[in-house]
């Protein structure tokens, strides 16, 4: 497949908000694709590089090669260059990367160049997510959409299902079954503004602790245990304590879903970053485990004794989990019954569930240092790989008023607009310290206004980043802090996104670094401000 075809479809998908139109465009694309194109086409449509980080900086795009006049570059040829970029290391690597990037751009047409630049810098955002692509794949191959969704769930990969479908037709879907030892995509949760809202939507339901650890899927067949991350990476060798815990259970041929966390002497959780660092450690695992032992905590079971449990209700799966896993390794929860005179989701408004116990459990969970809660409808099957409506997470959301120190020129649909914001908190001496970057949450209207305003404040522009006078204040929502050696304050914001521009607030009234660092764990609010249940924020002071 020519890269020009993919670039054109990507642009067309970005230009429409209609799901039906997106599906039609992608179905036509898949109909023209060869099976060998799929491992590249699908992740590129979603803005992902299969190779991961490839070390290409903005300098590699300085003085870009002129575009080709005729489209001859194929998707697989372009992917070969990206693979070569990912393999570059050592002295002179930046020079080699720049040459590879310039050669690639020189072989691309103008539209292909725009797509490639956006792809390399993570700015392909046209809404071509896996769910939409799965529907399009079903249409292109005349396969039942539900069968495609289930195959993707069981395979853990839309790409592998697409390859088989395009090569062998709908009959290939029968080959995808739940198998102990082969990971499946985890079920994900939607969000709610508060516990009362979530319970009102789902009762009768369970309200579970939401642990701020690393999601794991644990498979055991006989004496063989495999541990996978939420992205289906095999990390068994790094977590010997999880393997030991799985082997100690009185069961076989099971698949468990849970988290690994680390607890201190008082039973409070260590910071997420400590756990992530431990899970990421590949050398001297024994010493790492001794320094920071991890504890698995399970909240679901997908298979037991070789039986597929995915289609059972959450209540039935939880009964099996309680039988298989001892209490210390099960997540805490309370159960909220249906309101008197009504069932889950009847929505008649005559009765409401009693949420007092759920609210008390939420507060106690935060007091124990955990991240929040997940509310789960008792009748929910396990919808692997999807944000099912039957699971809803509730977390406290923090906000800060920070100052824009610089902004980066956007790519893709954000070309010509200042997008990625460099965020700073106020120091006692009136200067600012950078805490991180974000382009999340910005609407087109916000981008237009922001670009015009920051151009007025600009003091330097190297073609990639515009440095500005520290005057524009933005309200930022974030999920917490994590340590970072990249930034001078030693911390950065987790999942930061822009809520609004604070034209009414001078930089002298922005939040201070002391305020940012004032939180004490996941339950604390470093900014002293949280979002109300209706999503509004308390007024700044």
Query: Residues with catalytic annotation?
Result: 210
Contacts of 436 (CB under 8 A, 6+ apart): 423, 484, 487, 492, 493, 496
H helix intervals, 172-325? 195-202, 240-247, 272-280, 285-291, 314-324
The rounded radius of gyration (Å) of the Cα atoms in the chain is: 25
Residues recorded for the chain:
541
Residue 292, C-beta contacts closer than 8 angstroms, at least 6 positions apart:
262, 270, 274, 275, 278
Tokens for 154?
A: 């069981």
Q: Exposure pattern of 515-534 as b/e (b: 16+ CB <10 Å)?
A: bbeebebbbbebbebebeee
Determine contact, residues 244/253, Cβ cutoff 8 Å.
no
Q: Which helix (H) or strand (E) holds 162?
A: helix 158-168
- From CA 484, how far away is CA 488, in angstroms rounded? 8
**Cβ(516)–Cβ(527) below 8 Å:** yes
Q: Distance of CA 37 to CAs 42, 115, 116, 126, Å?
A: 9, 17, 16, 20
Do residues 22 and 128 make contact, with C-beta atoms less than 8 angstroms apart?
yes
Q: Which residue has the tokens 């259970």?
A: 249
At CA 480, angle to CA 476 and CA 486, rounded to 5? 85
Task: State whether the Cα torsion 469-474-478-481 is positive or negative.
Answer: positive
Kindly give the interhelix angle for 130-141 and 145-155, rounded to the nearest 10 degrees: 130
From the list 91, 85, 72, the residue with the least C-alpha distance to 121 is 85
């Amino acid at each position: 497949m020519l890269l020009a075809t993919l670039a054109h479809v990507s642009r067309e998908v970005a230009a429409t908000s209609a799901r039906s139109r997106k599906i039609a465009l992608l179905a036509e694309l898949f109909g023209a694709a060869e099976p060998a194109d799929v491992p590249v086409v699908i992740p590129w449509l979603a803005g992902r590089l299969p190779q991961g980080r490839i070390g290409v900086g903005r300098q590699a795009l300085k003085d870009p090669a002129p575009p080709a006049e005729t489209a001859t570059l194929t998707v697989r040829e372009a992917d070969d260059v990206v693979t070569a970029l990912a393999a570059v290391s050592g002295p002179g690597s930046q020079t080699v990367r720049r040459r590879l990037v310039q050669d690639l751009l020189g072989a691309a047409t103008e539209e292909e160049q725009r797509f490639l630049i956006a792809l390399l810098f993570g700015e392909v955002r046209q809404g071509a997510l896996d769910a939409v692509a799965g529907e399009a794949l079903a249409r292109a191959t005349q396969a039942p959409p539900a069968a495609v969704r289930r195959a993707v769930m069981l395979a853990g990969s839309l790409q592998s299902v697409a390859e088989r479908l395009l090569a062998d037709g709908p009959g290939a879907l029968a080959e995808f079954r739940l198998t102990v030892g082969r990971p499946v995509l985890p079920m994900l949760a939607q969000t709610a503004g508060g516990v009362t809202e979530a319970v009102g939507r789902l009762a009768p339901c369970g309200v579970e602790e939401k642990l701020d650890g690393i999601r794991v899927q644990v498979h055991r067949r006989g004496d063989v245990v495999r541990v996978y991350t939420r992205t289906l990476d095999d990390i068994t060798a790094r977590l010997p304590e999880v393997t030991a815990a799985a082997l100690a259970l009185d069961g076989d041929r099971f698949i468990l879903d849970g988290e690994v966390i680390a607890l201190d002497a008082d039973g409070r959780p260590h910071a997420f970053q400590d756990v992530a660092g431990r899970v990421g450690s590949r050398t001297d695992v024994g010493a790492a485990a001794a320094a920071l032992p991890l504890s698995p905590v399970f909240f679901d079971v997908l298979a037991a004794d070789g039986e597929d449990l995915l289609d059972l209700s959450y209540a039935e799966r939880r009964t099996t989990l309680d039988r298989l896993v001892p209490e210390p390794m099960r997540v805490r929860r309370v159960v909220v019954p249906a309101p008197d005179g009504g069932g889950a989701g009847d929505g008649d408004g005559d009765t409401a569930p009693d949420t007092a116990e759920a609210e008390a459990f939420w507060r106690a969970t935060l007091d124990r240092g955990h991240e929040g809660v997940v509310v789960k409808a008792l009748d929910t099957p396990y919808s692997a790989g999807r944000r099912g409506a039957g699971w809803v997470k509730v977390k406290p959301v923090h906000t800060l008023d920070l100052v824009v120190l610089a902004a980066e020129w956007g790519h893709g649909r954000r070309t010509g607009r200042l997008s990625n914001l460099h965020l700073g908190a106020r120091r006692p001496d009136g200067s600012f310290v950078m805490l991180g970057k974000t382009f999340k949450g910005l609407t087109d209207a916000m981008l237009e206004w922001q670009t015009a305003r920051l151009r007025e404040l600009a003091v330097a522009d190297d073609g990639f980043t515009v440095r500005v006078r520290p005057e524009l204040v933005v309200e930022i929502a974030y999920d917490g802090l994590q340590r970072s050696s990249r930034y001078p304050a030693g911390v950065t914001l987790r999942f930061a996104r822009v809520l609004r521009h604070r034209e009414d607030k001078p930089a002298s009234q922005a939040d201070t670094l002391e305020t940012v660092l004032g939180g004490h764990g996941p339950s604390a609010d470093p900014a002293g401000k949280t979002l109300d249940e209706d999503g509004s924020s308390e007024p700044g002071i």
